Chain A
Amino acid sequence: MLKKKSLLGAVVSAALLFGMGACGNSSSGSSSSGELTMTIWDEAQKKGMEEMTQAFMKENPNVKVKVTVTPFDQYFTKLETQARGNNMSDVFWMPPEYLPKYVNGDKLLDMSEDIKKDSVDMGKYPKSVVEALSKNGKVWAMPKDYSTVGLWYNKTLFDKAGVSYPDDSWGWKDLASAAEKLTNKAAGQYGIVADNDSNFYSSLMYQNNVKVTDANGKSEIDTPAMHEALNFANSFLKKGYSPSISDQASTTPDQYFESGKAAMIYSGSWMPSEYTASGQKVDVAPLPKGKIRATPMAGLGYAIAKNTKNADAAWKYVKFMSGKTANEIQAKTKTAIPAYEGTQDAIIKAWPDINFKSFVDSSDYGTAPYYIDAWEKFKTVWGDGVGDILAGKTPVDTGLASLNKQVQSIIDEYQK
């Protein structure tokens, strides 16, 4: 019996070892025959990505591309591990937030020369997206799409409360008074979900003309503009127009909105399929204006691994994926708002029941944080700190003052 067991163990572990060996072989020998892999994190976009890739392979029959998905929760953990072993996919999605780290680590292929050689017109993409994917005067990823945040609202609840639908004339005051009118405590209905998941408070910050840091890494957390923005965010929670942050730990902000328990939510251009399937009558409007018009805007790019064995094919593929034809497919398949100029009409038409155009139009005033090199080091401290303030654990003024010191000291230590 005992012998049998150890034999089994030996067979199993031998199989594991050989299995690992086989894995190693296949990944190192794949590229010479014109094979590429692209890793993405969104299962919902896989179909669209594959359709675009098919179109590429039709034009380039000698290159084969495989699209694989790593769930978002593990995407960057895995990418970092692979990068350390110089074993990344040839092509992969790269958001601006992580770009500095990979550029500093010398893990990405510089595309500037290829762009010049093939005279790719970078003017076809939103300037902010191109800037976010550039560093040290070079382009490290080609624009794929962008997303913006809008004011989603529940038409039924607005009708019932006799409040007119939001439009681009709305400002902060209109938002506050609508939230008050739409709150019905007896029915367990809230005017808005003021969540601590950054879309909401970042929007208010940008509209009050303030970011976490300036471009050089000086914290702007303890400034009057920041205090004002967070006090405004906090007012919805304090007055009970929003479920409390601790209630949102049980029922998520999206669930409040989708179950008709909240009339408004600040959420993104990636939500239509979920919100329209919730059974509520929903629509979306541009974000109410503060001192200035602003919306959090996030670009996304296709990056190429520095050590890819097939740089030529990878560039060809990325050029195609960020070009006009592929972006038209991206729009038509409702995959994401394409970054290429003039290809957005198809996705606007693909969502006829909602004002999807507002997401595209608001890209004109899209804003993003300065992703300085130390961003990764302080982002959780910043997020936790704002979370504590909105949860009522720390008051706005002292909370921001101490958060300012913490974040600045992390940045200073990093930049030393």
Chain B
Amino acid sequence: MHSKRMKRLDSRAAWGYVFVLPTLLFVLIMNIWPIINSVYISFTDASGFSTPHWIGFGNYVKIFHSSLIGSASINTVIYAVVSVVVGTFLSLILAVALNEKMKGRAVFRTLYFLPVVSTPAAIAMVWRWLLNKDFGLVNYVLSFFGIKGPNWMGDPHWVLTAVIIVGIWSGIGYNMIILLGGMQDIPSEYYEAAQLDGAGKTRQFFNITMPLLSPTLFFVLVTSVIGSLQVFDLIFVMLDKSNPAISSARSIVYIFYDETFAKGNQGYGAAIAVVLLLVILVLTMIMMKLQKKWVTYDK
């Protein structure tokens, strides 16, 4: 009996491995191997087609002395903090609103999700036009309120704000759908009981929705932080290389791209990528630790 059961388990487990194998191979070849390779390249002077030479921590020393990396780090942190805080807050509000029974709910859900399925390049091109200083719709609308809209894409003080606005707008739908899914997992009995006890909507939100939604919210926060620290495509497409304000919006990955693909300094570029990987790793670990203080997993 015992052995028979073991055998069955074994063969089931074996089938499991068989099914996982292709994915595992794919991840190993396409993700893990490049990471290992990047770490190796980051310790070399790889450039162009020449044979790389081992230079130890040379690239890393260069990173910590680079003012370009310094300003890009500041830009990236500002982008990440603002877009994660504001973006998560807005998607939470939207999720709550679209969780209510209302007319046209499906239409609104689709509308808010649309940016997620559009390509970043298309989004950036449309927003370039919307944010045009002289002919853009945004500044046109602002003029009705007597506000003279800024030169969104040409003024160093506004250019990062422009990128953040577009970043939030394009990411909001994805987070909203995930939060909405989390909310619909909350059993309705809790709300019915709370109603019987005389709890109002606000009380229900903070005492039922928030705690039970916290695992989903945590997931949204972690993925948003990781994603926002890697911001690149929006900046790359929205701002031309000759844009005089671009130094106020260059992110870390932008510098990585520039070094690796425009200047051909693969070793240095790899080192930037490794540092970013470590930063994200540490941040994620801290968030994992901190979640114990506010995330509730028991329902």
**Which residues in A have some Cβ–Cβ distance to B below 8 Å?**
6-7, 9-10, 13-14, 16-17, 76-77, 80, 83-84, 101-102, 104-107, 195-197, 244-252, 376-377, 380, 383-384, 387-388, 390-391, 393
Residues A83 and B49 in contact, CB atoms below 8 Å apart: yes
Given contacts A80-B261, A245-B244, A251-B132, contact A9 B154 (CB under 8 A): no
B177: A residues at CB distance < 8 A: none
Give A138 to B48 CA distance when docked, in angstroms: 21
Residues B244 and A249 in contact, CB atoms below 8 Å apart: yes
Give A10 to B242 CA distance when docked, in angstroms: 46
A402 → chain B closest CB, angstroms: 13
**Which residues in B have some Cβ–Cβ distance to A below 8 Å?**
16, 18-23, 25-26, 48-50, 131-136, 151-155, 239-245, 247, 258, 261-265
Of B23, B133, B262, which is within 8 A of A250 by CB?
B133
Give A248 to B153 CA distance when docked, in angstroms: 9
B135: A residues at CB distance < 8 A: 251
Of B20, B25, B264, which is within 8 A of A6 by CB?
B20
Residues A388 and B152 in contact, CB atoms below 8 Å apart: no
B133: A residues at CB distance < 8 A: 247, 250-251
Given contacts A13-B26, A17-B25, A250-B133, contact A84 B49 (CB under 8 A): yes
Residues A10 and B19 in contact, CB atoms below 8 Å apart: yes
A257 → chain B closest CB, angstroms: 15
Residues A196 and B244 in contact, CB atoms below 8 Å apart: yes
Give A196 to B243 CA distance when docked, in angstroms: 9
Residues A249 and B49 in contact, CB atoms below 8 Å apart: no
Residues A249 and B243 in contact, CB atoms below 8 Å apart: yes
Given contacts A107-B49, A196-B244, A251-B133, contact A14 B155 (CB under 8 A): no
Give A377 to B266 CA distance when docked, in angstroms: 12
Give A246 to B247 CA distance when docked, in angstroms: 13
Residues A249 and B134 in contact, CB atoms below 8 Å apart: no
Residues B132 and A250 in contact, CB atoms below 8 Å apart: yes
Give A13 to B19 CA distance when docked, in angstroms: 10
Most buried by B among A13, A16, A101, A244: A13
Residues B244 and A17 in contact, CB atoms below 8 Å apart: no
Give A245 to B151 CA distance when docked, in angstroms: 11
What residue in chain A is nearest B25 (Cβ atoms)?
A: A17
Give A244 to B19 CA distance when docked, in angstroms: 60
A246: B residues at CB distance < 8 A: 151, 154-155, 244-245
Residues A10 and B243 in contact, CB atoms below 8 Å apart: no
Residues A247 and B151 in contact, CB atoms below 8 Å apart: yes
Residues A250 and B245 in contact, CB atoms below 8 Å apart: no
A20 → chain B closest CB, angstroms: 9
A247: B residues at CB distance < 8 A: 133-134, 151, 154
Residues A249 and B239 in contact, CB atoms below 8 Å apart: yes
